[in-house]
Structure formats: C-alpha cells, structure tokens
Amino acid sequence: MATHQRKKVTISIVTPFLVFILFFSSMIWQKYRSSRELPVTPTERHEEGYRTVTLFFAADGTRLAREARALEPCEDNNSCLKSILDELLSGPVGEFEQTVPEGTAVDAASIEGDLATIEFNGTFSDAMLSGSSAEMLAVYSIVNTVTANFPQIQSVKLNVDGNKVATLRHLDLSDPLQPDYSLEQSPPAEPVKSSVGSTTNRKGAH
C-alpha cells in the first residue's frame, strides 16, 4: 500500500515538471523558427482600371511636349473626353508649362463620328496671352491632346462662350482644326548677319 502511494506522489510531482519542460521546449523551438524565417515583404497593391492618357503642354515656351497622366475610369467617350480636358486645364506636374489661361473651364465636350466639339468659357479668349505663338500653343495643346487620345477623331471644333464663330487675336476658330504634331519640334534657329555681312545661325553662334 505504501509503495502504491509513493508512486502516486512521484507521478503527481513529475507530471507538472514534464508539462513545464514541454512548454519551455516549445517556446524555444518557436523562437528558433522565427529567427530563421525571412520576413515576408508586403505585396505592392496596384490600382486596377486606371487609364494612361497623353497631355500636351508647352516646353521652353516655343513647342509642345507630351506628358503622361493616369486617370480614373470613365463611363463613355464624352465623359472620358471631358475628364482629359479637365486634367489638361489643371496644368502640368513636371517641368513643362501651362498653355491655357488660368480660369479656363470646359462647359461641355462631345464626340460625334470623327469630330469632337468643345465648349469653353469666355476666359479662354479673354485671358489668352498675347502673340500668335501663345495662341498656337494653347489651341493645339488642346487639339493634339484630343486626337492623340481618341484616334477616331480627325478634327476638333473649339467654341468660346457659346460662340461657334469664335476668333482669337490671331487665330480663327470658326472651322474645325486638325492636329499639328509638328509643333513638338523645336523651331529652327533664325539666321543673323555677322559684322562682315555673312550669315550664321543664332543658336551656337560665337
């Protein structure tokens, strides 16, 4: 009987000790595994559905240059056109320059066949910088932006403040305009006469 009691006492003492050993060993093993595992790099999330558009701004005040922009999805061609124009009017984010006067807004924009029609408020003409070059860059930054993003569009009609026969100081906007991508090229250097009457290029002249 005494032997049986001693066995019960021994088991009651050993059992908690074994449980403690197992628990402690498990903790050491988990810590070892954690030290050996490489940290998991979070997966980069990419927003889906965005569209990349091309906007035309001024470069060096003499030519047009392209800037890419990511825009949210749109429902149809007209809303897509309006969102692209609004983004153009918001100005460049890089080193280029805005071409359209600040405060210009698009009242309406629509596409019918191969023609896009854009209705601007009066600020577009009233606040336009003086000079034919400024007008050319402003108008064709719009026309080229539209046709570059909508290949089916062949020409763009610009109306100002409800006037379909709008004119700027140097440009007539009465008829639809076709794109002019040659405006992306730097203008040729103007020849100047040297002191002895010979002709040399203004750029690079010494």
pLDDT tens sequence across 25-46: 666 655 444 433 333 333 233 3
CB-count exposure of residue 101 (10 Å: 0-12, 13-18, 19+): middle
Asked if the model's pLDDT at residue 150 lies above 60, the reply is yes
Domain count along the chain: 1
User: pLDDT > 90: what percent of the chain?
Assistant: 64
Q: What's the pLDDT at 198?
A: 44
User: pLDDT > 70: what percent of the chain?
Assistant: 67
Checking DSSP bridges between strand 115-120 and strand 155-160, what pairing results, if any?
Answer: parallel
Q: What's the pLDDT at 44?
A: 30
Asked if the model's pLDDT at residue 15 lies above 50, the reply is yes
Q: What's the pLDDT at 192?
A: 57
DSSP state of 43: P
> Is 176 inside any structural domain?
yes
Q: What's the pLDDT at 204?
A: 38
> Is 80 inside any structural domain?
yes
Give the structural domain span for 148. 51-184
pLDDT tens sequence across 100-136: 999 999 999 999 999 999 999 999 999 999 999 999 9
> Is 62 inside any structural domain?
yes
Q: What's the pLDDT at 191?
A: 61
Backbone angles phi, psi at 23, to 5 degrees: -65, -45
Average pLDDT, the chain: 81
> Is 77 inside any structural domain?
yes
Q: Sorting pLDDT into bands at 50, 70 and 90, what band is 90?
A: very high
> Is 16 inside any structural domain?
no
Contact between 119 and 81 under an 8 Å Cβ cutoff? The reply is: no
Q: Which residue has the tokens 């690079």?
A: 204
Dihedral sign, Cα of residue 165, residue 168, residue 187, residue 189: positive
Backbone angles phi, psi at 88, to 5 degrees: -60, -45
Q: What's the pLDDT at 28?
A: 60
CB-count exposure of residue 142 (10 Å: 0-12, 13-18, 19+): buried
Q: How many angstroms separate the CA atoms of 89 and 55, rounded?
A: 10
Dmax over CA atoms of the chain, in Å, equals 133
pLDDT tens sequence across 58-68: 999 999 999 99
Average pLDDT score over residue span 184-189: 77
> Is 13 inside any structural domain?
no
> Is 43 inside any structural domain?
no
Average pLDDT score over residue span 154-169: 96
More confident residue, 78 or 26: 78
Q: How many angstroms separate the CA atoms of 133 and 157, rounded?
A: 19
> Is 4 inside any structural domain?
no
Cα separation of the two ends of the chain = 120
Asked if the model's pLDDT at residue 1 lies above 80, the reply is no
Q: How many angstroms separate the CA atoms of 58 and 201, rounded?
A: 24
CB neighbours of residue 57 within 10 Å: 22
More confident residue, 56 or 43: 56
Crossing angle (nearest 10°) for helices 77-89 and 132-149: 140
